[in-house]
Structure 1
Amino acid sequence: MTRIDFHLNVADHLLYTCRLVRKAHGSGLRVVCFSTRPEVLEQLDQLMWTFSDEDFLPHVVTGHPGITETPIVLTDKADDVVHHDLLINLDEQWPPFFSRFERLVEIVGLDEDHKALARQRYKFYKDRGYPLNTFDRAGA
């Protein structure tokens, strides 16, 4: 069963995502970052190239031919999901394919609208019996 972690009070969700991806990749996990908004994936792609001078995060954006070999995938499609270690949800709704993964991370920002949508996702997962964890990242 998928373990679901909510990371709360994150000031910059894309920078935080890069840090999570760096940690997961360093631990040997394969990562999928999901959003149905192309601009989010584009911003994350750019940030992964520039957020650290010391770390390289080998990643591809949906549709790239090397998607099956690359350990980090940025996608808006369930069809592009080729590995199932860690899913990071950057969308407002739950990913329809999240149950294929060992772990799911939900990143919750500071905005009240964002928190309200996260509460709906939390309730969705809880009602289905998924193990849930919360981590308050205020100031992190």
Structure 2
Amino acid sequence: MTEVFFYHLQSRPLEAALPQLLEKCLERGWRCTVQSSSPERIEALDQLLWTYDEASFLPHGTDRQPDSGRQPILLTTSESNPNGATVRFFIDSASAPDLSPYARVIHLFDGNDSDALDHARTAWREARSAGHDVAYWQQGPDGRWQRR
């Protein structure tokens, strides 16, 4: 079964948390897809991942580019998986009906957004009822993740 993790953003924004989680995935040799419901968010993340850290960058591309299937990190608004990702990130209440192609699915949601909280609760119930292993992670005041 797929591991489905829910990351509750409280003390740091998505733009600070997502690059760190993607770095950890790449360190493990995992290919990732980040799905948003907004093309504007994909464009902003595309720029962010090149510049978030002066000492490094995250190799990535968008599904609008040629050869998107070759990207270790793919940014998309689509439910498809052209880069053969084993980890799927859902942001901005994005979702997909079939989680089975992934070893891990990560929902990142803003704890200050009531719509995002409602969406995360619904996704939690759906993942549990489908038999997936679910886990909840919450940010501490220092931005570190704590499993609850």
Same fold (TM over 0.5): yes
TM-fit CA distance, 1:80: 4.7
3-state DSSP of counterpart to 1:32: strand
Distance in 2 separating the partners of 1:57 and 1:97: 27
Return the TM-score normalized by structure 2.
0.85
Q: Which residue of 2 aligns with 1:41?
A: 42
TM-fit CA distance, 1:99: 2.2
3-state DSSP of counterpart to 1:33: strand
Q: Which residue of 1 aligns with 2:9?
A: 9
Q: Structure 2: which amino acid aligns with 1:102? A: A
**Given the superposition, is the C-alpha separation of residues 113 and 138 from structure 1 closer, same or farther in structure 2, using an over 3 Å criterion?**
farther
Distance in 2 separating the partners of 1:43 and 1:59: 13
Q: Which residue of 1 aligns with 2:131?
A: 129
Q: Structure 2: which amino acid aligns with 1:4? A: V
Cα displacement string for residues 1-28 of structure 1 (whole angstroms, at most 9, x for unaligned residues): 2110111134311321111111211221
**Given the superposition, is the C-alpha separation of residues 79 and 95 from structure 1 closer, same or farther in structure 2, using an over 3 Å criterion?**
closer
Q: CA RMSD in A?
A: 1.6
Distance in 2 separating the partners of 1:82 and 1:72: 8
Unaligned runs of 5+ in 2: 144-148
3-state DSSP of counterpart to 2:69: coil
Distance in 1 separating the partners of 2:46 and 2:98: 22
Return the TM-score normalized by structure 1.
0.90
Distance in 2 separating the partners of 1:3 and 1:80: 17
Unaligned runs of 5+ in 1: none
Q: Which residue of 2 aligns with 1:95?
A: 96
* Paired positions, count: 140
Matched-pair contact (CA < 8 Å) for 2:5–2:137: yes
| Deviates most, 53-62 or 7-16 | 7-16
Cα displacement string for residues 21-69 of structure 1 (whole angstroms, at most 9, x for unaligned residues): 1121122111100112101111111110111112221100112112122
Q: Which residue of 2 aligns with 1:107?
A: 108
- Sequence identity (%): 24
**Given the superposition, is the C-alpha separation of residues 37 and 110 from structure 1 closer, same or farther in structure 2, using an over 3 Å criterion?**
same
Q: Structure 1: which amino acid aligns with 2:120? A: A
Matched-pair contact (CA < 8 Å) for 1:6–1:135: yes
Matched-pair contact (CA < 8 Å) for 1:15–1:47: no
TM-fit CA distance, 1:128: 1.3
